[in-house]
Amino acid sequence: MSFKVLILGSGSAMPTISRNPSAQYVFCNNRHILIDCGEGTQLQLRKYKVHLQKIDTILITHLHGDHYFGLVGLLGTMHLLGRDRGITIYGPSLLEKIIRMQTEIEGYSIGFDLNFVHLDGDVSKEIYNDGVVSIDTFPLNHKIPTNGYVIRECPKKLKINKFQFELDQVPIPAAHLFKDGSDYTSVDGVFYDHKKYTHAPDKSKSYAYCSDTKYDERIVEHIQNVDFLYHEATFVNAQKDRAKKTYHSTAEQAAKIAQKAKVTKLLLGHISARYNSVGTHLDEAKAFFENTYVVNDGDEIIID
Ligand SMILES: [Zn+2]
């Protein structure tokens, strides 16, 4: 079991040599999820050696180009490589129209099912749950409708206390029931209490993605206590007015959200091309939330 996030693009609207536009690949217990798909995402996937055909879920936040201009290209490459397995794309309803129009104009149809799920930045609900991983969406506060996402590991099974299990020579079939919290009675009528033979499960981890958004405390309830929060920090305090005008956040505002939500770690990204270094972002954020990092393209973050 593992849960990790690969940063494919940590920049904002204008790509730079060091920061691509927004995209992240999330690997969570054998689920392969792409969040946002800015221009050049498929090249970043290749550069960082992600098997792009394994991606089966794509979460798009909103329809500013730096968050989805790479999508039609990625889908086209999947098609050229012979993909036949469908893919599910969560995002604004207009996205389906745009992608279908783009592929239609090219004169071919994608050779696999595109399952669009429309999310227009106005609901908070669970959108996916396969018993191992769940995904929630919630509204962000941006110039156009924007979806935030939280990816969570579902509650894990109890762990078998092997020593006690073997000591009492418990029949092997009991193990499956114990892991689910059920007791077991053998064919000859011996009762085994699962509590005697199990340990507590590992903690289920969670990862929240908030980009793009202005400072809005309504976000807090949706990301309460997550392990890792990625929050945009397009600007620093010197550009606070610009942040407000463009419905973006400063590093300090991101830190205040992290603090209020009691998250464990804060990752800052969506850094404006105007900044050559991120020292000010870090200083301003850490004044409110110490456990803060500014991500770079290619960073692999283990959600532990
Ligand atoms: Zn935007």
Q: Which of 36, 66, 227, 297 is catalytic?
A: 66
In the reported structure, the alpha carbon of residue 220 is separated from the centroid of ligand 1 by a whole-number distance in angstroms of: 20
Nearest to 275 by CA among 16, 57, 53: 16
In the reported structure, the alpha carbon of residue 303 is separated from the centroid of ligand 1 by a whole-number distance in angstroms of: 26
In the reported structure, the alpha carbon of residue 213 is separated from the centroid of ligand 1 by a whole-number distance in angstroms of: 8
In the reported structure, the alpha carbon of residue 62 is separated from the centroid of ligand 1 by a whole-number distance in angstroms of: 7
Rounded Cα distance between 284 and 144, Å, is 27
Positive or negative: CA dihedral 7, 11, 12, 17? negative
In the reported structure, the alpha carbon of residue 212 is separated from the centroid of ligand 1 by a whole-number distance in angstroms of: 5
In the reported structure, the alpha carbon of residue 15 is separated from the centroid of ligand 1 by a whole-number distance in angstroms of: 14
pLDDT score recorded for residue 23: 98
pLDDT score recorded for residue 1: 67
Around 101, how many Cα atoms within 13 Å sit in the side-chain half-sphere? 5
247-283 exposure pattern, b = at least 16 Cβ within 10 A, e = fewer: bbbbbbbbbbbbebbebebbbbbbbbeebeebebbbe
Is residue 304 annotated as a catalytic residue, yes or no?
no
Alpha carbon 233 to its chain centroid, in Å, reads: 17
pLDDT in tens, the chain (304 residues): 699 999 999 999 999 999 999 999 999 999 999 999 999 999 999 999 999 999 999 999 999 999 999 999 999 999 999 999 999 999 999 999 999 999 888 887 889 999 999 999 999 999 999 999 999 999 999 999 999 999 999 999 999 999 999 999 999 999 999 999 999 999 889 999 999 999 999 999 999 999 999 999 999 999 999 999 999 999 999 999 999 999 999 999 999 999 999 999 999 999 999 999 999 999 999 999 999 999 999 999 999 8
In the reported structure, the alpha carbon of residue 14 is separated from the centroid of ligand 1 by a whole-number distance in angstroms of: 11
